[in-house]
Structure formats: structure tokens, C-alpha cells
Chain A
Amino acid sequence: MASALTLPAPLKKAFSLFPLQTHPPVPFTVRFPLVKPTLWIAPPRTSSVGHVSLLSTDVECLKWQAYIALRGLTDIAVRWDIPPEGALGGRLPTLHIPGTVTDGNLLTAEDIPSWVESQSTTGVDALDGYKDEHAKDESHAWVSLLEGVVHAALILSGSTSSPFDIFIRLSGNKRRPIEAILNPPPAPLTGFSSLLPAFGANVSLSALHLQYTEAINVVSERLGEDTWFLGSANPTALDALLFAYLHCLLHTGDVTRLEVARHANLVAWERRVKTKVKVAFRIAPRR
């Protein structure tokens, strides 16, 4: 069939003139050459002193940073020049590991635990590091408490260090808007029965703050004087999540920060875990 249709000779001659000009390939250098596993995170907080902290301002990224660090891995590089749209799956964090492919492999956040398992020397733990089955079940309850009320209070706490952070926070929230965090979902501001189209979310900040206060109280109560939450012998994923939330809460506005700062055991615990987490990360070397 291909032989029946051929290009007529004048057309072939005309097409052979193109391309008119071919430029040589532009060499580009990779900004951050991949030497060690690199974690792409949201930008960390810059303090006025000028010392750059390596802990991200975003709870998701910080949670995974803490998870990697608490599982004992060290010497992980971080970079924060990539916006969320450039990361795998459209959201940060993403892990870039040197692998068999020349450019390395990209892993989404969900694949990080399996990579950590492959790097660590300990065997597979059915209880995931928790004391017993009961503690493992209870950890689900604490996760939903932290990711529900505490996350909502963090988002709505409303104070930022600079006006630009507001844009970052609002744009990063497309994945989990306030309507998806609270259950039952907040009613529209215009009401269900009004003739206006549904708009906004009717969230009662005072009621939410009451629930948040109670949540922080019980977290402090449950932590007590334990080294790790729920009395585990070694740090678990729940510890990483709790550290991420405590760290972000301690850097928010007055009212939410005060609730956490009121509990000395939470502040001391967060400080201790922060030293452990910071040790594991380096800034990615630029070329």
C-alpha cells in the first residue's frame, strides 16, 4: 500500500529545502547534580538572622522529612526551588534518587516508605514500630485527630510572616480545601435554601478553636513523659506526623501557638525531635 502512494518529485524537492536553518544543540548544565538522594520540598523558613533552616514550612513536606530522618537515614539533600506544579503528581514532596536510569528515579510521597524500607537494614516489622496491635489501631485514631481538627486550625490560624506566604499557602491548598478537612463539610455561607448560588464555607472559628484546644490537651496528656508517642520504643510514622504539626503550630499566630506552648512536655518533645531531624539533611550542592 505504501508503494502505491509516493510523493511527487517536485514536492519532494520543495520539502528537501526544509529545515531552513538548524541551530546547534544548546548545552545546559544541571543546576543541582544528583549525587545523593534529594528531597524536593516547599521553601523553608528564613529567620532574620540569616541562618537558613532546612525544615520546610509545609506540613506535608515536613512530615516526610521527619519520617526519613527518624528512620535513621542521613545525608539526604534538600532543594526548594521547584514549585509544586513541577513535582511528580503535582505536589511536593518528591524524592529524586540516583538509580539505574541516567537521570535518576522520581518517587512520590506515597513511595517514600518503601524506599526507606529498602535502605534500612532492619527487617519488616508487622507492627510498624508500635508497641502492640492495640497501639497500632490507636495510632489511626491519632492520625485522624491530627489531620482533621488540628490541620484545620493550622490552616485557619491566619497569621503569616510575610504576605507572600499567604499566596503560597492558598495555592498549596487546592489538594485539600477546608471543605475536605472538616466532617461534616461546612455549609455554604449563603445557606442551603437561599436563592443565591452556593458560595463560601460557614466555619465557626470559635467552635473550631474549642475543639483544637481540647485536641492539643489530649495529645499532651497522651504523650505524658514518654520518649515516643504511644510509648513506642523507636520513632514511628505517627511521631513524624506529630512533630510536623507541632513544629508548624509553634510558628503560627498567637492563639494557636499559645495552646501548644502552654504544654511544656510538647515543647520539649518537639525541640528534642527537631535536633534529630535537622541532623539528617544537607543543602543540595549547586554546580
Chain B
Amino acid sequence: MPDASYVLHVWPSQWGLQSLDPTCLASVMYLQLSMPGKFQVAESCDPDMSPNGHLPFLIHGHLAHASFPSIVSFVTSLSRARASGVRNIDASLSASQRAQSIAWWSHVEASLGDLVSHMFFGVDANFWGLTRPTLTSLMPIPQRYYVPGRIRESYRRRLETSGLWRSPATEQEHKSPFAKNEKKRDDHTSTFTRAFEREKVMEKARTILDLYARLLDGKKFLFEAHPTSLDVYLAAHILLLANPPFPGSVLQILLLEKYTSLAPPYELAAPSKPSVLSLFTFGRGVTKEVKASNPDDVRFQRMRWVWVALALGAAAFNIVQFSKSIVILSVDDDDEEGDEDEDAYDEGVDIEILEEDKDED
């Protein structure tokens, strides 16, 4: 049985990271830790290819696993077969540690996930200044105009519920050249509301980051001496908060300045140590392959082109023959039965119908 390859489809790499989405980045890192060299990464801009409408998704033969938890459970089940050479990086956790890890996992997904989507989609300056141009440059022509807006719209409900939608993170405002005088009076109240909103978001971010700083507590990884899936997930979110060059970067500055315990273990690790970020510097074992080089597929493509060529040739031939048999009827109604076509049967039928019509007239 041929060994089907594992292909992981993710959003393309940006800003020195393997992907621009936290779950995609986490799945790349997770696969690199559990099955290095055995999988391929395909960069894709079309989330509709996935069974649940979101990237990442992992394809193995005919099976497709979408969403990070399904990928983790699939890899865990693979690791149980000893011949597959796949490691389960969560195997050394005790039962209670595993329980805590799953609870923290959902907290990372909810709170840090909200902060990341707030930075990418909630803040207007960031969306129009960074996210949308990046997505537009990656997508093909018709999608680039409406898909980023749709993706942003899908996050709106969630961010509105958690109060992280459209908070102004910068001092920049829309200055209209005509409204100079009225702005002076309204400026004070709008400045206060903007500062208040910003402070609410910062307070929320501070509580969440404090929680993780206390949890990490100076250790290198959260549970053991080697990274687990929770470390990978947390690192993916923090990297996506710290690395991209956001125009409205108040939260990023807060993270990098105040929470240095969170940032360096996941950013400045030397490649020789087995820490999480050494995966990125060299990308060993991760091959990027966009087209499948399967001989069956190549044969299929060749046959398809042959069929297209034959179809076009036959169509051209038919048109040429048909045009020869087209008869221009002149007004004086003579017998124009020349040019009986003996090539194609259907054209012969057409000529007969023409003649019948003439007879009926």
C-alpha cells in the first residue's frame, strides 16, 4: 500500500512566522514536534476547501481533519501505532495535569484568541493598515476584494460580546478638513470616551497576561521540561501578538515591555536548545510542496489536455465543413440544390429540413 502523505493546509507565512493565523501556526509547530519530516505544508488562501470552512486542515489519503483539536487527537491516535514513528508530546502528562492542560487550553483559545482577533480585526487602524493589505496581497483577483471583509464580519459577533470590537488603539483619528471648528468642542468628550475604551481593553489584556505570567512563573515550559500541546498553542498566540508590525500597537508594546517573562522564552531561544522557537529559524523537515507529483495525477492531466485538444479540433472541423454547406438563398427562388453535403449526417439533415421548408412554402 503506498504511503499516503500528510499534507497540512495553512494560511501563508508572514512576518517571519510560519502562518498568519494562530491555530495554523500552532498546528505547524505541533506537527513539527510530534512528526518531524513526515508531513508537508501547503500554503492556501482558500478556507472553503476545508471541511469546516476554516484553515488549518490535515489531509491524509481520503481523510480530512479540520480544526486544531481534531488534528491533535488524530496525531495522538497515530502515535499509538508504534511503527508510525510519531511521538505524542503529551504522553508524559499525568491525568490531573492533562485535565488542567485541557482547561487552560480552552482559556487560551477564548481569551488570548480574543486578544489576537481584536488586534487583527477589531482595531480599525490594524485592519486597514496591516491585515487587509496582507490578505489582499495573498489572495487572487476576485476574492481579494470581499473575502477579508467577510472574515472580519465573522469575528464581529464574538468580539462584540467580549467588548473588544472597534476600540481605538492609537491617537490617530479621522481628520476631516471641513470640520475644524466643531471638532474643538467635541474633541474633549470623544477623547475621553476613546481613552476610556482603550483603558478597558488594556485592563482586560493585563488581567489575562498576568494570569499567564503567574502560570509560567519563570519556568521554561508550562508543565514539563519539554513543550506540550498547550505550550505550542500559547506560544502561537503570543508570537502573533508580538511579531506582526501593527499600526495600532498599544497592546503589543504592553506585552513586550511589561511581560518580558512571557515574551523571551518564546522568542529569543537559541537554536541549539530544544525550545519552541528553534523550529522557525531553520524549518528543518518542513517541506513546502504546493503541487502533488503523483504519477496518476500527471497522467490524468495529460489525458485531460488531450481530450480538450481533440474536442477543439473536432469543433473546428465541424465549423469549417458546416460553413461550406451554408447556402445563401437569393431572391429569384431558383433551384439551389447544389452542395449536397456528404460529410456529416446532421448537416445533411439540416439541408433536408431546409428543402422541406422550401417545398411547404
A180 and B154 CA atoms in complex are apart in Å by 10
The distance from the CB of A224 to the nearest CB of chain B, in whole angstroms, is 8
Binds A, one of B102-110, B175-183, B245-253, B268-276: B102-110
Q: Are B154 and A198 in touch, CB under 8 angstroms?
A: yes
Q: Are B106 and A145 in touch, CB under 8 angstroms?
A: yes
Residue B114 lies at the interface, judged by CB distance under 8 Å to chain A = yes
Q: Are B46 and A149 in touch, CB under 8 angstroms?
A: no
Known contacts A138-B103, A210-B69: A221-B158 contact under CB 8 Å? no
Residue B310 lies at the interface, judged by CB distance under 8 Å to chain A = no
Binds A, one of B35-43, B49-57, B193-201, B319-327: B49-57
The distance from the CB of A225 to the nearest CB of chain B, in whole angstroms, is 13
Q: What are the residues of chain B within 8 A of A149 when measuring CB–CB?
A: 106
A18 and B67 CA atoms in complex are apart in Å by 71
The distance from the CB of B132 to the nearest CB of chain A, in whole angstroms, is 14
Q: Are A215 and B102 in touch, CB under 8 angstroms?
A: yes
Residue A3 lies at the interface, judged by CB distance under 8 Å to chain B = no
Q: Are A204 and B106 in touch, CB under 8 angstroms?
A: no
Residue B260 lies at the interface, judged by CB distance under 8 Å to chain A = no
Binds B, one of A24-32, A119-127, A153-161, A186-194: A186-194
A198 and B152 CA atoms in complex are apart in Å by 12
List residues 64-95 of chain B with CB under 8 A from any CB of chain A.
66-67, 69-70, 73, 95
The number of residue pairs between A and B whose CB atoms lie closer than 8 Å in the complex comes to 118
Q: What are the residues of chain A within 8 A of B226 when measuring CB–CB?
A: none
Q: What are the residues of chain A within 8 A of B104 when measuring CB–CB?
A: 138, 141
A219 and B215 CA atoms in complex are apart in Å by 20
Instruction: Considering the complex, give the chain A residue whose CB is closest to the CB of B101.
Output: A218
Q: Are B102 and A144 in touch, CB under 8 angstroms?
A: no
Instruction: Considering the complex, give the chain B residue whose CB is closest to the CB of A184.
Output: B54
Residue A60 lies at the interface, judged by CB distance under 8 Å to chain B = no
A179 and B154 CA atoms in complex are apart in Å by 8
Q: What are the residues of chain B within 8 A of A203 when measuring CB–CB?
A: 52
Residue A140 lies at the interface, judged by CB distance under 8 Å to chain B = yes
Chain A's interface size range is 35 or more
Q: Are A193 and B147 in touch, CB under 8 angstroms?
A: yes
Fill in one digit per residue for B137-164: 1 if any A CB lies within 8 Å of its CB, else 0: 0000001000100110111011011000
Name the prevailing secondary structure of the A interface residues. helix
The distance from the CB of B337 to the nearest CB of chain A, in whole angstroms, is 52
Residue A105 lies at the interface, judged by CB distance under 8 Å to chain B = no
Q: What are the residues of chain A within 8 A of B46 when measuring CB–CB?
A: 193
Residue A202 lies at the interface, judged by CB distance under 8 Å to chain B = yes
Known contacts A179-B157, A193-B143, A218-B98: A207-B70 contact under CB 8 Å? yes
The distance from the CB of B233 to the nearest CB of chain A, in whole angstroms, is 12
List residues 165-219 of chain A with CB under 8 A from any CB of chain B.
175-177, 179-180, 183-188, 191-194, 198, 202-204, 207, 210-211, 214-215, 218-219
A211 and B69 CA atoms in complex are apart in Å by 8
Q: What are the residues of chain A within 8 A of B278 when measuring CB–CB?
A: none
A191 and B23 CA atoms in complex are apart in Å by 19
Q: Are A180 and B147 in touch, CB under 8 angstroms?
A: no
Residue B129 lies at the interface, judged by CB distance under 8 Å to chain A = no
Residue A75 lies at the interface, judged by CB distance under 8 Å to chain B = no
Q: Are B102 and A218 in touch, CB under 8 angstroms?
A: yes
A215 and B48 CA atoms in complex are apart in Å by 28
Residue A142 lies at the interface, judged by CB distance under 8 Å to chain B = yes
The distance from the CB of B185 to the nearest CB of chain A, in whole angstroms, is 27
Residue A133 lies at the interface, judged by CB distance under 8 Å to chain B = yes
Q: Are B110 and A148 in touch, CB under 8 angstroms?
A: yes
A237 and B340 CA atoms in complex are apart in Å by 94
The distance from the CB of B313 to the nearest CB of chain A, in whole angstroms, is 34
Q: Are B96 and A202 in touch, CB under 8 angstroms?
A: no
A-B pairs, top 5 by smallest CB distance, nearest first, are: A187-B53, A218-B99, A141-B103, A191-B48, A180-B161
Can you name 8 extra interface pairs (CB under 8 A) apart from A183-B113, A204-B67, A221-B96? A141-B106, A176-B161, A186-B154, A193-B147, A203-B52, A204-B66, A207-B69, A214-B102
